[in-house]
Amino acid sequence: MIRFDLICENDHEFDSWFANNAAFDHQKQAGLVTCPYCDSEKVEKQLMVPSIPKKANNNHQPQAMLSANNDPAMKDLVENIRKMRQQVAENADDVGKDFAKEAREIHYEEKPARNIYGQATFDEARSLIEEGVEVMPLPSLPEEKN
């Protein structure tokens, strides 16, 4: 199951669970995904990280940061994120700011398939997702300050 953060045409935000990405697309096309506030069927996925600015009109907003003050559960979470990022770094190539371009070229088979990671703006990430390119935001660690 995946939880998607969704937003409707009237900017109502809500979330909903789906078996997978395809299930969401399927249910959306069938008009089964509706806004709980206004019943609109015009519902879009938001990116899966709450720190992403809700409005796309400022792509350079600082990301929300977390400070896990001695809470063991939060320490575990941070440790898991750290491990996940380490695995990504070991198993994927850092393409930096070319991420959107590289991801798109791989998606359209202009380049051989490989795992990549890098930076993308909110708009770039949204375009990729709309084109069906499988991307997801990497969680940031509290100590990372750009």
Residue 87, Cα to own-chain centre: how many angstroms? 18
81 and 139 Cβ atoms separated by less than 8 Å: yes
Task: Specify the residue, 35 or 52, whose C-beta has the smaller distance to Zn ion.
Answer: 35
Strands of 1-138 (E only): list them: 2-8, 13-18, 43-45, 93-96, 116-118
CB of 119 to Zn ion, least distance (A): 31
Cβ-based nearer residue to Zn ion, 13 or 131? 13
Residues that bind Zn ion (CB under 5 A): 8, 10, 12, 35, 37-38, 40
**Cross-strand partners of 8:** 43
CA 136 to chain centre: 4
If the CB atoms of residues 42 and 97 are measured against Zn ion, the closer one turns out to be 42
Nearest distance from residue 13's CB to Zn ion, in Å?
Answer: 9
Minimal distance in Å, beta carbon 16 to Zn ion?
Answer: 13
